Amino acid sequence: MKLKEDQTGILLSFNIWANRRLTDQIKSLSQEEFTRETGGSFPSLRLTLIHLLESDWLWLNRWQGKPLVLPPENWDTQTPISISEIWLGIQEQIEETFESKAEGAMQQVIHFVTKAGAALEMPYWQTVSHMVNHATYHRGQMANMIRMMGHKPVATDLFLFYIEENGRPE
């Protein structure tokens, strides 16, 4: 699997692993808990998940050469299961896009437009690092929301990912 061959691929693999762990836990919560406003950048688990879903969609499209593509309006984002189904498909596409990159692609310049309309560019590896860091930040917020609801949040720490990966035979 090419995804694990370099540091950027390892970060993407970690991100996918952490997102899957989190969505598995959130699917076990009630709809009321999923939509309960507890505060934060996005006040509920649902709104925070939608933000991460849309962010991954934007980066996936940017990596495929589309500077700004808004999320489809027909996405069903009402339940943890519906969001998870969409998001897991995007995670698979992210993995496929990474694996299809030619050697040396980490330095490829990605041209994109922010939602605010600013035209920017940066190397592919920096956009991946940003995406993973951004998701880690919001997963931490969701862990806090889950804790505020009286549940123990699932662990999504990079350290635990490494422990699991190091214990896996090739």
Report the binding-site residues for a divalent metal cation. 51, 134, 138
Cα distance between residue 22 and residue 46, in whole Å:
12
Residues 57/89, Cβ–Cβ less than 8 Å: no
d(CA 68, CA 58): 7
How many whole angstroms separate alpha carbon 132 and alpha carbon 127?
9
φ/ψ of residue 103, rounded to 5:
-60, 140
List residues forming the annotated binding site. 51, 134, 138
Please state, in angstroms and rounded to a whole number, the distance separating the CA atoms of residues 52 and 43. 13
What lies within 8 Å, CB to CB, of 62 at 6+ separation is 68, 110, 112, 127
Spacing of C-alpha 152 from chain mean position: 21
